[in-house]
Chains A and B, each alone.
Chain A
Amino acid sequence: MDCRWIERYLIEIIEGSVKTMDMSHNIEEHLRTCPKCANLVKRFRLAWDMLENPERIEGSSVFEDLLLEKIQETQKDSLLVEIRERLFRALRPAILTSGLIFALFFGVHLGNISKEKPEMSPDFALEAGFLEYSSGDLIILDDISRGSAADFLLNYRVNWKEESP
């Protein structure tokens, strides 16, 4: 029996659950002759006792008052949340309707913009890529569908060009 065995069976030694009588006897014998291991076992026993008998505390005298305060605060908060949710539920149809009306007006407005066919100079149209040369004549690409991205870009560039000094 050497010191490693003591370290290995520390729990069994202090809990008195060493399996065989022989081993128990050997351990006792080793502890009698090895002060280092005896000290370790003594300290380990103290540590184990501390674990099994922890200090117990009691809540402060204001524990329940503070708890009730917390509960009231939470209830107040949850009441506010409930009011907010109910208000939102009540106003939801109105919000959705106004959103729909806004989207409708916005769509109509966009449609009106694209209806206005801009006057554009051949130079600008050429630069924008909406004119091309074909056998020496300028051809305007008329097949740009209204409301398409190309149409929007054309409008935007024409307007921008006209507005810029």
Chain B
Amino acid sequence: MNEQKLIRKVAEGDQEAFRELVQTHRNMVINVCYSLLNNREQAEEAAQDVFLQIFKKSGEFKERSKLSTWIYRIAVNQAINTRRRNQRFKKKEFIRLESSDGLMSLKAPCADCPDSQLEAGKIKEAVQNALDSLPEKQRTVIILHKMEGLTSKEIAQILNISLSSAEARIHRAKINLKKKLSRLLSGL
């Protein structure tokens, strides 16, 4: 079944179509939320809310954009809202200590090498801290660009901004991340 047909069926209340939609996009949604939230439980909960919204708003989907772009948009917004809510209630440091799996979202490239294991852990922490210290808009684009591998065009469509704005935001985020990372990495 193609995307348009599938979403139309979901809008009509077809549970089988919805199940198919969830199965197709489940991992993508969970991983976007995981990249943005750094916490497995929160990512799963946010992903469920994303699908709930899709179920409710399926009638509002305009077939001008791709279904995956629309789903990405809902997922990014949901994850950002969840993150804001968490930040409002907990202090940043506390979150970092509590979510022990937060740093695990970054895979160590050379985990087998015993002498680099400790350093890899520290680098993971530095990357996470550098990402967390970025302004929210820059953090979102760099995660979508680097971790999710999306192009500037796709990011522009998801965030509903112009292509040039997306490119500029990615560029600024890269520069900012480089500055923060190099400072943190030099201190290791």
- A residues within 8 Å of B by Cβ? 7, 10-11, 36, 40, 43-44, 46-47, 49-60, 63-64, 66-67, 70-71, 74
Contacts and interface: CB of A to CB of B under 8 A. Distances in A.
Nearest to B126: A47
Interface of B: 19, 22-23, 26-27, 30-31, 34-35, 40, 43-44, 47-49, 51-52, 55-56, 104-110, 119-120, 123-124, 126-127, 130, 142, 146-147, 149, 174, 178, 181-182, 185-186, 188
Given A43-B185, A63-B48, 13 more contacts: A11-B174, A11-B178, A40-B185, A43-B123, A44-B178, A44-B185, A50-B124, A52-B149, A57-B31, A60-B44, A67-B52, A71-B55, A74-B52
A44 B104 CA distance: 18
B44 A54 contact: no
B19 A64 contact: yes
B143 to A, nearest CB: 9
Contacts of A40: 182, 185-186
B165 to A, nearest CB: 21
Chain A facing B: main interface SS: helix
B44 A59 contact: yes
Given A51-B127, A53-B109, A46 B52 contact: no
Contact of A55 (B52, B104, B185): B104
A7 B184 CA distance: 12
B126 A59 contact: no
B24 to A, nearest CB: 12
Contacts of B34: 57
Contacts of B105: 54-55
Contacts of B35: 54
Contact of A64 (B22, B27, B55, B174): B22
